């Protein structure tokens, strides 16, 4: 009975989203490049997990989608909105990393015939974390979680891979451990648009789920990418490049300096986690939700790193 009730609620929520699919925010930010801007919020049943930026690139013969959203309902709304923009076949579904707000919508694209693409570490990350995600996000998503199924990539990227959409090539690059251990970026050279995934946060405080020092190093490497605009994983749909990196770099540098100082002073992890990077507090949304986690992860990493 409980399962039936959950399923009924999931269907009702999906119908609600489907009815509003025509209003699903999917804007063309450059010729053939579409972006949906997620909310600056935590994943909830009310927002259908719609907190990450999603994208699509349309070539002469095919389409690539970049991330699919935080629920099957959002993924279906995204697919419906995209099909109103183009009738070309969907050839690739690219996941920029393993986090639920970027991959839970995959199930909506399973029967499109598209190839799922991700970092070489993504299958391992899905196997290790996926069951926990499905369990732990039930409280936030309620019956929406019932429709979610984890879909591993069938094409993985190690280094740089180029995909052809017909008269339009996109470059996928797999990065060292930074925001996570499976970060992937997508560059559309034709328009000069870089999809950074969660290697770039704007307004939403950056999240360190991989390596603080790796994240800092990757920020410097990202600056060398030749692009005109960037689509961050969270925040405004597009931003100027590479200036968009500045605020994130300042936060990560402040967090690192404060943690190094706390470790040198012999502070405990608990004390350091609650004091580090507090000067950045007013600059970011969701600071209270993530800064202590970032500081805790950074402390453990830096404690064993020679300054």
Q: Kindly report, residue by residue over 79-108, the tens digit of the pLDDT.
A: 999 999 999 999 999 999 999 999 999 999
Residue 4 pLDDT greater than 70, yes or no? no
**Residue in this structure with the two tokens 């999906």, named with its chain if needed:** 14
Q: Please compute the mean of the pLDDT values over residues 284-288 and round it to a whole number.
A: 98
* 82-51-16 Cα angle (round to 5): 60
Q: Which pTM value belongs to this model?
A: 0.92
Q: Is the per-residue pLDDT at 66 higher than 60? A: yes
Is the pLDDT confidence value at 7 over 80?
Answer: no
**What is the spatial distance between Cα 102 and Cα 98, in angstroms, rounded to a whole number?**
7
Band of pLDDT at residue 290, cut at 50, 70 and 90 = very high
Q: Residue 40 pLDDT more than 50?
A: yes
Phi/psi for 71 (5° steps) reads -165, 165
Is 25-241 assigned to CATH 3.60.15.10?
Answer: yes
**What would the mean pLDDT of 181-196 be, rounded to a whole number?**
98
Contact criterion met (CB below 8 Å) for 92 and 162: no
Q: Where are the domains of the chain?
A: 25-241
- Whether the per-residue pLDDT at 55 is higher than 60: the answer is yes
Residues 6 or more apart whose CB falls under 8 angstroms from that of 273 comprise: 292, 295, 296, 299
Mean pLDDT of 104-133: 98
Cα 157 from Cα 201, distance rounded (Å) = 23
pLDDT digit string (tens) for 18-30?
444 447 899 999 9
pLDDT band at residue 8 under the 50/70/90 scheme: very low
Hey, which bits of the chain come out as E strands? Answer: 27-30, 33-36, 54-58, 63-66, 90-94, 115-119, 155-157, 160-164, 169-174, 184-188, 193-201, 229-234, 239-240
**Given this model, what pLDDT does residue 9 score?**
44
């Amino acid at each position: 009975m409980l399962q039936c009730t959950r399923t009924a609620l999931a269907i009702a929520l999906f119908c609600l989203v489907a009815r509003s699919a025509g209003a699903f925010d999917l804007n063309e930010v450059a010729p053939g490049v579409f972006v949906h801007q997620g909310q600056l919020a935590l994943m909830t049943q009310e927002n259908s997990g719609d907190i990450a930026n999603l994208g699509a690139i349309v070539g002469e013969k095919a389409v690539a989608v970049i991330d699919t959203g935080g629920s099957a309902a959002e993924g279906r709304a995204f697919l419906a909105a995209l099909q109103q923009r183009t009738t070309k076949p969907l050839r690739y579904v690219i996941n920029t990393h393993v986090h639920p707000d970027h991959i839970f919508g995959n199930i909506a694209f399973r029967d499109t015939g598209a190839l799922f693409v991700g970092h070489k570490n993504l299958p391992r990350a899905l196997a290790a974390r996926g069951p926990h995600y499905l369990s732990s996000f039930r409280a936030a998503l309620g019956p929406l979680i019932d429709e979610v199924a984890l879909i591993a990539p069938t094409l993985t990227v190690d280094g740089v891979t180029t995909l052809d959409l017909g008269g339009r090539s996109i470059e996928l690059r797999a990065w060292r451990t930074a925001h996570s251990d499976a970060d992937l970026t997508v560059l559309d050279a034709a328009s000069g648009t870089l999809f950074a995934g969660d290697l770039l946060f704007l307004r939403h405080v950056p999240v360190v789920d991989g390596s603080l020092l790796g994240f800092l190093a990757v920020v410097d490497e990202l600056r060398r990418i030749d692009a005109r605009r960037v689509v961050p994983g969270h925040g405004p749909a597009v931003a100027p490049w590479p200036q968009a990196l500045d605020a994130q770099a300042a936060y990560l540098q402040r967090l690192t300096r404060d943690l190094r100082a706390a470790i040198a002073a012999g502070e405990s992890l608990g004390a350091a986690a609650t004091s580090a990077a507090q000067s950045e507090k007013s600059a970011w949304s969701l600071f209270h939700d993530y800064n202590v986690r970032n500081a805790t992860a950074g402390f453990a990493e830096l404690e064993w790193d020679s300054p």
